[in-house]
Structure 1
Amino acid sequence: MKICVNEESHDVPDGSKMSDLIKFLSIEDLKGWAVALNNEVVSSQLFPVTELKTGDHVILIQATQGG
């Protein structure tokens, strides 16, 4: 199925969960990351049960240190 991650189209298997997407994107440490699904923030504790659907929009934002 097709979903959009940070404005880029990705094909993921049907029934994929948010945790599957994180693995697919090779993100190993979620410290400092914020994740939103269709403009709703998703807690990392919910990744294993958050099912993705065709047409979903995922936004991944990584915090950076600056001044």
Structure 2
Amino acid sequence: MITIQVNEKTFEVHTDFNILQLLKQLKSRQDGIAVAVNNAIISKNSWESTTLVENDSVLIIQATQGG
């Protein structure tokens, strides 16, 4: 198990855990969001191939509409 931060909350996940698995575990939408790991935006087509490591800081941002 490794410890990561997701939107400033601590989570423990298995090693070799990727962003897509994290979103599914959190029951997060996959459309209309942006994901950053350690302040670097990760493109949606890289979510499955981006493996999280100990002490990673993940930020999930929900797009909003406004005017």
Identity of aligned residues (%): 39
Matches within 5 A, 1:1-67: 1-27=2-28, 29-67=29-67
Aligned residues between the structures: 66
In terms of fraction of residues, the more helix-rich structure is: 1
Query: Unaligned stretches of 5+ in structure 2?
Result: none
Structure 1 length normalisation: TM-score?
0.91
Is the partner of 1:45 in helix, strand or coil?
A: helix
Q: Which runs of at least 4 in structure 1 moved beyond 6 Å after TM superposition?
A: none
Structure 2 length normalisation: TM-score?
0.91
Query: Unaligned stretches of 5+ in structure 1?
Result: none
In terms of fraction of residues, the more strand-rich structure is: 2
Is the partner of 1:23 in helix, strand or coil?
A: helix
- Output the aligned Cα RMSD: 0.9
